[in-house]
A and B are shown apart, each in its own frame.
Chain A
Amino acid sequence: MRILKSFRFWLPVGFLLVMLSASFVIPAIYPELLEPGPPYLKDDSGRVIADPPYTMEEMPPLGSDKLGRNLFYLLLSGAKYTLLSAMVIALLRMVGGFSFGIVYAFLPDWARQMIKGVGDTFNFIPLAIIAFVLLTPLQLAFEAGAMYSFRFLMIEIVVIAIIVIPSLGMYIGEEMKEYLKNDFVTVSKQIGASRYYINKRHLRPQFSRHALVMFSEQISQTLYLLIQLGVLHICLGGLKTEEFGIMEHIPEYFSYTNEWAATMSINIQMVFLHTWLVLTPLAFFAVSIFCINEISRFLKEVLLEDTLPVGKDETPSNKPVPSSRLEDPFTFKNRSKEEFH
């Protein structure tokens, strides 16, 4: 309950909520804002002074894309796809990861070793490549017109969620196994507690707090991954190529959803020409990731370290991680978000 009263929690959450609701409301009320703007701009004496993409002065507030559509509204309407997909992906990952983790924690040692061996595979291939390998055939099918954008989006969400579940589940399982070594769990086992009971009584209260923090960390990791996939031209909702050249062959990518990573990805070739088209979506990403990181940091302080930074000269987040795990530094124990990249 302390969480819900805090300003530090509501500020970033509120910001994201406003952005999300604006992303639904504005395209619904003002569909004309997303229409292509004028094909060229004239000054007072009738001379043509600009053609798309317009700069920020020519089309406030953030300029336009190649079709003359207002970039700000474009990104705003794409926000729902990016943010909601990231949340759904994170949610699926948590559900899958925890189911995997519970099974993993109760497995016999040899089975755990087997899973560890195979699961380590996923640690050595960058996630972006894993997603790329699995999604490229589908992207080709999408370009050929075999499916709707929304269906492709759904498949992408599921695939991006699934590829993280083995390593996440292994991490959660290891943590659970460590936790089950506590004396009170051993005692409770000895007096005959069933697995179900241990789950309910010991694991759930402990790990539901962890889960909240992890959920919000997963959202920001998903956003990082979406950017990387954008660089590889795998975008939520798919990209299509359209012929832009009149006499010659100039294929240009365009996206159905106007999702942020897609908007960045279709313009990345022109980063030196139209810098703004690349930097703006990235800035949107950065701001959202910052908000989500703030939320995770706050949740961590309140839920895991159990101290509110009131009147303390050192914030609890500055406290080092416990260094009690000196046995084997090269297996994953102290996982941080960087490892899921």
Chain B
Amino acid sequence: MFLLRKFNVIGLPIQFLLTCIGLFLFSGAGSLLAYDTELVIMLGKYLQTLQEMGREMLQPGSIIIKIGDPMDYKSYPIYPLFFQLFGYSFSLLLLAFFLAAVTSSLVSYLFMFLPKKIYQICFRLLDSLDSLPDVLIIVFIQLFIVWFFKKTDILLFDIYTLGDEKIYLLPIICLAIMPIAFLTKHFLFQLREEEEKPYVEYSYSKGFSKAYTVWVHLFRNVWIHFYYHIKPIFLLMLSNLLIIEILFNINGFMNVLLDVSSNTPSAFFIGMLMIYIPFFIVFTLGAISLKKWLSGEEVSS
């Protein structure tokens, strides 16, 4: 047991390094496949790209990124631009994440008071929401706003960015919709299971109301499970962020990452690290603190 724990302590930095190496190896992958008359795997060119990347990484400040049409692109130095975009895109991501967390817990809380029949129907609807592709949902929202604008002359939100302005509200809502459905479903699963435990009965028999019991007692136990879904949700949101930035014409981080992925592998690598490292820190800290907390609870109880 002790050995295992020790291994984990050493294993973590190694795992981190390995993932960074993996990201490095992947960044050059654009030059791996090529086609002239047959599909060829260009190992030589790939290695050359990696070598070039390694050289460029020694002076990361001098990397120039090209944005826009391959025919008429604009060049920017990597340093201020990448970080500005990163701040914008990830504030969208974080805000959407918090919105999703709050909304889904409220919705699942309200769900618990529905009569059984209606609950079933609502749950089924929620489940079917999964079948709607995210692109369809986004397009629907955009169209709804245009339709609403035409009918009433009120522009609810800006649906498109022009030039340098930034829009927040609508992308955040679009980004939050899928996680809300996902989280609500899982919260309800967990609440259902929790509801059958004896302490709930005890709380009712002591005369506490359902609202109080669900909110205070059930939710406290369900929130732990929230942590289990953080990683999948962030990854889901990351890929949705890309789609949203494209559909809303936002010059965001993911959009630039996509541009850069095919022409400047070293910038792509830096971009990937900028995503990976914060995630790694958050997930690792989360795992450690949760483990401590849970094991501490076991000892005390």
Contact = CB atoms under 8 A, between A and B. Distances in A.
Contacts of A41: none
Nearest to B124: A315
A231 B26 contact: no
Interface stretch (A24-32, A62-70, A196-204, A280-288): A280-288
A271 B294 contact: no
Contacts of B291: 327-328
Contacts of A271: 139, 142-143
Contact of A113 (B15, B143, B236, B283): B15
Contacts of A142: 35
A155 B41 CA distance: 12
A126 B242 contact: yes
A136 B26 contact: no
Contact of B33 (A113, A137, A329): A137
A179 interface: no
A122 B235 CA distance: 11
Given A129-B261, A286-B136, A318-B189, A329 B18 contact: no
B276 A124 contact: yes
A272 interface: yes
B139 A121 contact: no
B182 A133 contact: no
Given A129-B261, A329-B287, A332-B231, A121 B39 contact: no
Do most interface residues of chain A lie in helix, strand or loop, or is the interface mixed? helix
B228 to A, nearest CB: 5
Interface residues of A, number: 75
A321 B18 CA distance: 31
B64 interface: no
Interface in B1-45: 7, 11, 14-19, 21-23, 25-26, 29-37, 39
Contacts of A320: 189-190, 192-193
B133 A278 contact: no
Interface stretch (A84-92, A96-104, A186-194, A333-341): A333-341
A282 B133 contact: yes
A110 to B, nearest CB: 9
A290 interface: yes
Nearest to B36: A146
Contacts of B193: 319-320, 323
Contact of A120 (B15, B36, B182): B15
B133 A125 contact: no
A126 B238 contact: yes
Contacts of B135: 227-228, 230-231, 264, 282
Interface of A: 109, 113-114, 116-130, 132-138, 141-142, 146-147, 155, 159, 220, 223-224, 227-228, 230-232, 264, 268, 271-272, 275, 278-279, 282-283, 285-286, 289-290, 293, 297, 313, 315, 317-321, 323, 326-332, 334-336, 338-339, 341
13 contacts: A117-B16, A121-B23, A134-B29, A134-B33, A136-B30, A223-B133, A224-B133, A228-B134, A230-B135, A289-B132, A319-B193, A330-B227, A330-B230
